[in-house]
């Protein structure tokens, strides 16, 4: 621990605390019902209700195919990033010399350099697990669309639409958490410059995510269709 300055420990603790705190706030906090995710759940529920009214559900299958393609792209990209980070970790000495040539980068020890790379690796491992779980849940949603009953009893149709919308929203939640890891990995890159810049970048990234989720123009545009929220 002597080789890791106090400022770097503080910045890492701040990074982890802010990430966990915002994740709890976004997924379980009291303002969750006013979030972009809650509004989109309303639209997903409406989508599933409309799906049950259609005999031909090719449109719904195409929509799910697009969602699956997006998640699959990020999952594959995350593996490539992890491969690159592991490669850099295996050639640490050359990488440190390269970074030291940058005038704005902080001097760092071998232990601290490896810690920074390991933090980035953990971030992208977390993102990979989130993307692959989102991918599976969207697959489950595809099965629900394929197994959807023909228009029948209204109560039964409504219950089915709610379940399908819930699975789609859960998949979207994990996809968003994977994207959040990508955003925060950009903040983690600032650690190579300075621990204080790392803390500032973490705060700015979370502020941007909060604004997009709770105060963005997209939210105001989607909000008029509010019905049932999650």
Is the model more confident about 36 or about 96?
36
The pLDDT of residue 173: 94
The pLDDT of residue 118: 93
Look up residue 205 and give its two tokens: 């990234």
Is the model more confident about 229 or about 100?
100
Domain residue extents for the chain: 6-27+34-225
Task: Give the mean model confidence (pLDDT) for residues 39-54.
Answer: 90
In this predicted structure, the answer to whether residue 230 has a pLDDT above a threshold of 60 is no
The pLDDT of residue 101: 57
Q: How confident is the prediction for the chain on average, in pLDDT? A: 86
Query: What are the tens digits of pLDDT across the range 71-122?
Result: 999 999 999 999 999 888 776 666 565 555 555 556 667 788 888 999 999 9
The pLDDT of residue 54: 83
The pLDDT of residue 228: 43
C-alpha distance from residue 38 to each of 142, 196, 226 (Å): 21, 34, 9
Query: What are the tens digits of pLDDT across the range 131-190?
Result: 999 999 999 999 999 888 877 656 568 888 999 999 999 999 999 999 999 999 999 999
Query: What are the tens digits of pLDDT across the range 203-228?
Result: 999 999 999 999 999 888 888 644 44
């Amino acid at each position: 621990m002597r080789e890791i300055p106090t400022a770097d420990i503080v910045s890492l603790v701040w990074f982890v605390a802010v990430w966990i705190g915002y994740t709890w706030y976004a997924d379980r906090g009291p303002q969750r019902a006013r979030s972009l995710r809650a509004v989109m759940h309303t639209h997903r529920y409406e989508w599933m209700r409309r799906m049950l009214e259609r005999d031909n559900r090719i449109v719904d299958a195409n929509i799910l195919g697009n969602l699956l393609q997006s998640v699959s792209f990020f999952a594959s990209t995350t593996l490539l990033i992890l491969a690159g980070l592991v490669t850099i970790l295996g050639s640490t000495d050359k990488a440190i010399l390269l970074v030291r040539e940058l005038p704005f980068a902080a001097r760092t020890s071998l232990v601290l350099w490896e810690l920074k790379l390991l933090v980035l690796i953990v971030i992208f491992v977390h993102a990979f697990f989130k993307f692959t779980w989102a991918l599976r849940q969207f697959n489950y949603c595809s099965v629900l669309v394929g197994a959807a009953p023909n228009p029948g009893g209204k109560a039964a149709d409504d219950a089915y639409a709610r379940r399908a919308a819930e699975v789609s929203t859960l998949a979207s939640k994990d996809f968003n958490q994977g994207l959040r890891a990508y955003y925060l990995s950009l903040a983690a890159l600032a650690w190579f410059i300075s621990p204080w810049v790392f803390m500032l970048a973490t705060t700015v990234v979370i502020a941007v995510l909060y604004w997009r989720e709770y105060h963005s123009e997209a939210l105001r545009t989607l909000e008029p269709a509010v019905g049932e929220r999650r």
